[in-house]
Structure formats: structure tokens, C-alpha cells
Structure 1
């Protein structure tokens, strides 16, 4: 009998169990939302702890990196953030992040210390827009521009990371991103092969 009571308590306090539903409006694709965030990075997930991930920022697109680890807090209670499983260890992403600047009442549970709203000066990522793009090789995919709401993996042609960086820097338009995301894959492959040949990567 006692073990059943303990099991019920453990399940009630279990990390990842939502006690309220997330409710938010879709804020737009990456091209719409990134400018309103504090930090945009191309990074690799190097550690997972509780409902947070640590990133190795391989390329800073905008903002200032923290002096210590770059920690991003994910789904917790009713806060509209992506699930932890969205970002596996070793995966690479372009992320538009918001800095956590104040404590939130009820944001820390001593019974689950590794699961919380997040620490001040760490970062959080929203689920309510195209706040992340999957990065593989030299290109990214995701809800980049003019994509369906709530679809974080729409069908599209991968777009070069260097083009994303240029957009964040204000050097190219969202129209250029849209054109690249709708480019014929065969033409893109030909262009990449030509670039590699000119660099001397191929015989």
C-alpha cells in the first residue's frame, strides 16, 4: 500500500509532467521572430540536465555569449517551450533565444531541482514560432520563412547557414530566404558541387 502512495507522489512530481496547458499565439517563422530575441547562435547540444541543454556556440549570429556555459531551458509546467527530446545530444541547431532576467514565482521545485523555469542569465526558447532551425552540414531546415503555423519541420529546400547569418546581420532580405527555401534541389546541388570544385575540394 505504501509503495502505491509513493508511486503516486513520484508521478505527480515527475519531471516533464505538465500541470497546465501551454497557451500562446503563433509568433511567426524564424524571419519574423529572430529580431525580437536576445541571442541567435548556431550551436551543438553538448550536455543535457533536467529540462535544460548546454550548447557549444559554434557561430554567433547576433548578441553576446555568456561568460560561462550557454544553458537553454526547455518545457516546464505551462511555459510554452519545446520538449527536451526535440534537441538530442550532439545535434546542431540555429536558435533564437530569450535571456531569463528575473525569477518567476513557482519556477523552482526543491523536489525536482534539475527541473525548473530556469536560472537568471540563462536562456529559454519558445515553442510559439520558428525559434529554431535544424542545422546539418552547411545548411538548415525548419520554419524559416512563410511556413505553415505550428509546423517546425515543413518540407523545404535546405538553406545555407551563411545565408541565414547574412539575413540576421541585415545583409539580405526575407525574400532571398524564401527564394532559397523554394530552390530546385538539383540546382542547389549543382551550385554546391561547382563551389567545391572551385575551392579545389574535388579532383
Structure 2
């Protein structure tokens, strides 16, 4: 009997420790050392070059507005897939969805995105008390944060986790790549190596080559 009493005492002590331990400390440590990608427990799927062919729509888009965890996008051009609407809605991070936060995509910013279409209702995906915070409507799109699913677009060039970049790095050091070159890769017209070379070309060397070519033309 004494043995069981000792075991019971130890068990109650452990339960009391778990019950009255400071829950904020563990949460703070987790938040400090985690990323949005880690908090949703997804694995890195690869750079844009790796993941774009899994998506339903690859498009150059401009953010026109947003509300809650959604943003509206103007479709500037389609690199792959079909979409007949000039404007589409994109649903981003909420709850434990593995998606980037809507605040990353400000109005008038321009991107190339590899998007997934929402094709089925998700239980609990819509709360009438918070209609602007949702999994997303049927026919709309969502953007995964588990890979390089989006690239920033400046004029006719893109930057971001394009090809062979470090995991979870959204703005790696790289040479901006022409949108037309990226489109050619998505179509299968150029190789991954050609895309990689373009992203790692020394911009100073390229400028020197252009200057040299200009000098030779003028000297003739």
C-alpha cells in the first residue's frame, strides 16, 4: 500500500507541475524561434522553379486591394493555366493555414504567383461572424508558403526564391531575371540551368559586356 501511495504522490506532483507551469514562456520561446512556415508544420517544397508546375495558375498579377486575409489581384498576364476573369481573389494566412500573411502584399505591388484554385468546401473554413477571415470561396485561389510560390516583379524583371535559393529565403541575393525568360521556362522552352545562370550572372560583368558591345559598334 505504501508503494502505491508513493506512486500516487509522484503522479499528483507531476500533474500539478504541468497544470501550473507558466504557459506563456513556452509560447514566447516558440514564437521567437519559429517562422509562419514552421508554425503550420509544412516542409519546404522548393524554389519557384520547382513548385510552379504543381500550381493551377501561374500569372503575373498586381494587387488592387484587400480585406481580412484576402487580396484582390488584377491578372496582367498568364504564364500557364486558364483564367478568364480579369480580377481574381486570393486567400492568405489565417488560423493554421500554410500561407503568407496578407500584409506582405500591399496595394499596387506586382508579383508573379503560382496559385492553387479552391475546388472544395472545407469544414469550418467559413465563419459568418468573421466573413473576411476565411479559408476561401470556391473558385478563388490560395497561395502556399511552403515553397517559393511567389516572386516580386519590378517592371519586366522578377526577384525572389527563383531557383536553387536557400530554404525559406524570400529575398536572396540574385540578379533580377527577365519576366519573358521566366515565362519561357514555365512553357518549357529553356532549361532550369539557363534560368539558374541568368539569376546568378554578375550584374557588373553584364554591364561591362554591354558597354563593350556599344563601344565596338560605335568604333566601326
TM-score, scaled relative to structure 2? 0.76
CA distance in 1, matches of 2:119, 2:212: 47
Aligned pairs (5 A) from 1:98-117? 98-117=116-135
Residue 180 (structure 2) aligned to one of 135, 153, 162: 162
Residue number in structure 1 paired with 2:193? 175
Q: 1:193 to 1:23 in 2, by over 3 A?
A: farther
Counterpart CA distance in 1 for 2:126 and 2:212 is 53
Aligned equivalents of 1:194 and 1:56: distance in 2? 40
In the alignment, the residues of structure 2 paired with residue 194 and residue 30 of structure 1 have an alpha-carbon distance, to the nearest angstrom, of 33
The aligned residue for residue 87 of structure 2 is: 69
Residue by residue over 1:36-58, the C-alpha shift from the partner in whole angstroms, topping out at 9 and shown as x without a partner, is 10000011001112111111111
Relative to its length, the structure with more helix (as a share) is 2
- The aligned residue for residue 80 of structure 1 is 98
Secondary structure of the structure 1 residue equivalent to 2:193 = helix
Partners of 1:112 and 1:164 lie apart in 2 by 38
17, 36, 46: which one aligns with 1:28: 46
**3-state SS in 2 of match to 1:48:** strand
Unaligned residue ranges in structure 1 (runs of 5+): 1-17, 196-203
Number of residue pairs the alignment of both structures matches: 177
Shift in Å at residue 85 of structure 1?
1.1
2:59 is the counterpart of 1:41 = yes
Distance 1:54 1:194 in 2: 45
- SS in structure 1 at match of 2:133: coil
Question: 2 CA distance for matches of 1:184 and 1:133?
Answer: 20
Once the two structures are TM-superposed, the CA of residue 117 in structure 1 deviates from its matched residue by: 0.2
Larger Rg computed on CA atoms = 2
Partner SS for 1:23? coil
**Considering only aligned residues, what root-mean-square deviation do their CA atoms show, in Å?**
2.1
State the distance in 2 between where 1:36 and 1:149 align: 18
Structure 2, gaps ≥5 residues long: 1-35, 214-220
CA offset at residue 67 of structure 1?
3.2
Taking the TM superposition and a 5 Å limit, the aligned residue runs for 1:45-60 are 45-60=63-78
